[in-house]
Chains A and B, each alone.
Chain A
Amino acid sequence: MNFFDAVVRALHKKHGEGSGGSFIMPTIKTEGYAHAGLRQLLAQERELLIFDDSLTLPALDVPYDVVLWNGGLLPRAQHAEFHLTHENPAPLAADTSSFSDLARALTSTLVVRITASPKTPLSLGWICDALRPAILCSSLRIEVAGGIQASIILEDRALSENHLHLSSLELVLEESSSLDCALLANAHAPTSLRGVQATVHANAKLRMIRTVSPTGRAREEITCEIFEGAHASLRALMVQKTGHTSLSTRMVHKEKNASSMQIFRSAVFSGAEVDVDVRTDVAPHASGTSARQETKHLLMEEGAKAYTVPRLFIHNDDVVCSHGATMGHATPELLSYMATRGIGEQRAKALLALGHMAELAHHLPASCEANYLASLRSLFQLGS
């Protein structure tokens, strides 16, 4: 029986039996495959869906494990786990179209469980490439386990290039683990992502940074639940050329001695609008909480609109919470100084806006920062 027959048979069996049980697919091991061979395999056989933690990709040197979570055909509580490694190339040489369809039907939620520290960030672009059929899912769950440090870059561009519409993202950081997560907007189209839900368990650290598309309308909600001794930071960079971005964020301190930061920067052009609803909740038993909110809107032109609603719901006396929100045009003092250096008002404002955003942009992954700043230079017409 080849690999795909096995999948189909298992599924048929599953349906035949109703909703009970789960099934494990045959193992296909990757040992013996050189890097180039593996890449070629992935390029030719996009239906290679799932890897277990015995698979090490030489390009990324990332041992990890991907689990398909069935939210479609099977009840969500009874997920189907595929633990596949490549033992024999023959199954993958088979016609895979039926398996591709199967994967589409199966996956409304994709779960990526990271169990070893990658040396370079995981990229959604790469995952899309490798898991093209599977990632037609509308939601993605990333779990970081075993106290490891991981990082992931999720690019809207990679999603749109793959005609994917990911609407929700769930991040789960198990105890003492750490995740740097960059959610990067497409410069030319608003994101499909509508919600991010993060759970940061005890002593874990989540550092998340979001860029939003400068055009179109988008509404996004980000919520983090933070447990004892954990830290969560959320930074968002919003340059709004046209349209309207609405960002609603919430840090929920569930247990004691946790810290959080919500730091946002925007640069808004005429006719565009940004609104930020930023909220911190501190539970009654979450003593020793430290929380900070900071929002700075720079209005580039007359007719630009920006709003911030800072909200703090504190149910414990032993907390340090701060919030600050500023909004305004470029300061005359700086424009005046720049004028004495030959820099006219329009260009000075653009340079100040670039600086305003660059203050947060250095928190982007090093591989993305230069591209992001280059896109801003283009947007602000600053040249290369």
Chain B
Amino acid sequence: MLHIHQLHASIAGKEVLKGISLHMKPGEIHAIMGQNGAGKTSLASVLAGRDEYTVTKGDVQFSGKDLLALSPEVRAREGLFLAFQYPPAIPGVTTEEFLRTSLNEIRKYQWKSTIDPFELRDLLRPMLAKVHLSEAFLERHMNDGFSGGEKKRNEVLQMLLLEPKLCILDETDSGLDVDALKTIAASIRDMRSPDRSFLVITHYERVLEELQPDVVHILHNGRIVRSGDMALARQIEREGYEAAIDQNA
């Protein structure tokens, strides 16, 4: 599914990824944990193709394609989805309009027919229920005046709708109360399939207990310094990052 080899990247001249290698198989959930500034969001952003980052070295294969050669929109159309930690507001554009545009752009790329507003509503109804949002939510302007929880639910709603192959969740659990966290985790679990993978970036073991990832990585200073299973996440929760990193050293 995703093969990252010795990835180096910088932003504004500062190197933030310093040789990351990671291999994900279809159907796997990988968790990335790490202290603030470790490079977690940078990794997600580079994979999504955000243009403020410059890849200086390395190679990323996604479903057999050279991911780094693709534009950000083509990466999305190929099935890569990034759930943002801080999704921006788009005043004046309704959530429904945005979702329909996004879905139709992806469907056109996949040589599928576009869908009309009525079909979209039918599609979205059960998904909205899944993330505990009402239909009226679709009339609101995208992320404009949304609470933190609504923004995160909206990101998950998009993920449910677009059915990507690889879902990257950048601290989607941060700032959520326990109920919201369980709702979102349940949606992600429902999406799990043998041909869909998840890269979950988080500070907290709690969401990982809900998702039960196959692999847990610690990212530190732009590198993956340790990988393990859920036991590693529990150790971090119990002892902190420094201890977990030191143990590896």
Complex interface bits, B1-12 against A, C-beta within 8 A gives 1, otherwise 0: 000000000000
> Given the complex, which residues of A lie within 8 Å of B97, measured CB to CB?
351, 354-355
Please pick, from A334, A341, A357, the residue contacting B162 in the complex, using a CB distance under 8 A.
Answer: A341
Is B69's beta carbon under 8 Å from chain A? no
Is B224's beta carbon under 8 Å from chain A? no
| B44–chain A nearest beta-carbon distance, Å | 10
**Stretch in A20-28, A38-46, A142-150, A342-350 touching the partner:** A342-350
Interface centre among A351, A356, A359 (most CB of B within 10 A): A351
Is B166's beta carbon under 8 Å from chain A? no
Is A127's beta carbon under 8 Å from chain B? no
Interface centre among A344, A354, A357, A382 (most CB of B within 10 A): A344
| A344–chain B nearest beta-carbon distance, Å | 5
Please pick, from A336, A342, A357, the residue contacting B92 in the complex, using a CB distance under 8 A.
Answer: A357
Number of interface residues of B (CB under 8 A): 31
Is B102's beta carbon under 8 Å from chain A? yes
> Given the complex, which residues of A lie within 8 Å of B71, measured CB to CB?
339, 344
> Given the complex, which residues of B lie within 8 Å of A325, measured CB to CB?
none
- Judging by beta carbons under 8 Å apart, are B88 and A342 in contact? no
Interface centre among A334, A340, A342 (most CB of B within 10 A): A342
Interface centre among B51, B76, B141, B162 (most CB of A within 10 A): B76
- Judging by beta carbons under 8 Å apart, are B92 and A358 in contact? yes
- Judging by beta carbons under 8 Å apart, are B76 and A341 in contact? yes
- Judging by beta carbons under 8 Å apart, are B92 and A359 in contact? yes
| B93–chain A nearest beta-carbon distance, Å | 4
The 9 closest A-B pairs by CB, nearest first: A355-B92, A355-B93, A339-B72, A342-B76, A341-B102, A359-B92, A358-B92, A342-B105, A342-B106
| A236–chain B nearest beta-carbon distance, Å | 16
Please pick, from A332, A333, A347, A352, the residue contacting B105 in the complex, using a CB distance under 8 A.
Answer: A347
- For residues 59 through 118 of chain B, which have their beta carbon under 8 Å from a beta carbon of chain A? 71-73, 75-77, 81-82, 84, 87-88, 90-93, 97-98, 101-102, 105-106, 109
List 29 A-B pairs, Cβ < 8 Å.
A333-B88, A334-B90, A336-B50, A336-B52, A337-B84, A338-B90, A339-B49, A339-B71, A339-B73, A340-B48, A340-B49, A340-B76, A340-B81, A341-B105, A341-B158, A342-B73, A342-B76, A342-B77, A342-B106, A342-B162, A343-B101, A344-B73, A352-B90, A354-B97, A355-B97, A355-B141, A356-B91, A358-B93, A359-B91
Q: A343-B102, A354-B93, A355-B97 are in contact. List 9 more A-B contacts (CB 8 A).
A: A337-B88, A340-B73, A342-B105, A344-B71, A344-B105, A351-B93, A355-B93, A356-B92, A359-B91
Please pick, from B75, B82, B84, B105, the residue contacting A343 in the complex, using a CB distance under 8 A.
Answer: B105
Q: Check A334/B88 contact, CB under 8 A, given A339-B71, A339-B72.
A: yes
- Judging by beta carbons under 8 Å apart, are A336 and B72 in contact? yes
- Tell me the dominant secondary structure on chain A's binding face: helix
Question: Chain A interface (Cβ within 8 Å of chain B)?
Answer: 332-334, 336-345, 347, 351-352, 354-359, 382
| B160–chain A nearest beta-carbon distance, Å | 13
Closest residue on chain A to residue B79 by CB atoms = A342
Complex CA–CA separation, A342 to B101 (angstroms): 9
> Given the complex, which residues of B lie within 8 Å of A356, measured CB to CB?
91-92
> Given the complex, which residues of B lie within 8 Å of A382, measured CB to CB?
101
> Given the complex, which residues of B lie within 8 Å of A334, measured CB to CB?
88, 90
Closest residue on chain A to residue B47 by CB atoms = A340
> Given the complex, which residues of B lie within 8 Å of A338, measured CB to CB?
90, 102
> Given the complex, which residues of A lie within 8 Å of B98, measured CB to CB?
341, 351
> Given the complex, which residues of A lie within 8 Å of B76, measured CB to CB?
339-342
- For residues 97 through 148 of chain B, which have their beta carbon under 8 Å from a beta carbon of chain A? 97-98, 101-102, 105-106, 109, 141-142
Complex CA–CA separation, A337 to B73 (angstroms): 10
> Given the complex, which residues of A lie within 8 Å of B88, measured CB to CB?
333-334, 337
Complex CA–CA separation, A332 to B88 (angstroms): 11
| B151–chain A nearest beta-carbon distance, Å | 12
Interface centre among B71, B97, B158 (most CB of A within 10 A): B97
> Given the complex, which residues of A lie within 8 Å of B109, measured CB to CB?
342
Closest residue on chain B to residue A361 by CB atoms = B92
Complex CA–CA separation, A120 to B51 (angstroms): 51
Interface centre among A332, A345, A355 (most CB of B within 10 A): A355
| B62–chain A nearest beta-carbon distance, Å | 14
Closest residue on chain A to residue B89 by CB atoms = A334
> Given the complex, which residues of A lie within 8 Å of B77, measured CB to CB?
342
Complex CA–CA separation, A320 to B219 (angstroms): 53
Complex CA–CA separation, A131 to B129 (angstroms): 54
> Given the complex, which residues of A lie within 8 Å of B84, measured CB to CB?
337, 340
Complex CA–CA separation, A333 to B90 (angstroms): 10
- Judging by beta carbons under 8 Å apart, are B72 and A347 in contact? no
- Judging by beta carbons under 8 Å apart, are B101 and A337 in contact? no
Complex CA–CA separation, A338 to B97 (angstroms): 12
> Given the complex, which residues of B lie within 8 Å of A343, measured CB to CB?
73, 101-102, 105
Complex CA–CA separation, A356 to B91 (angstroms): 7
Complex CA–CA separation, A275 to B49 (angstroms): 37
Closest residue on chain B to residue A360 by CB atoms = B92
> Given the complex, which residues of B lie within 8 Å of A337, measured CB to CB?
84, 87-88, 90
Complex interface bits, B24-47 against A, C-beta within 8 A gives 1, otherwise 0: 000000000000000000000000
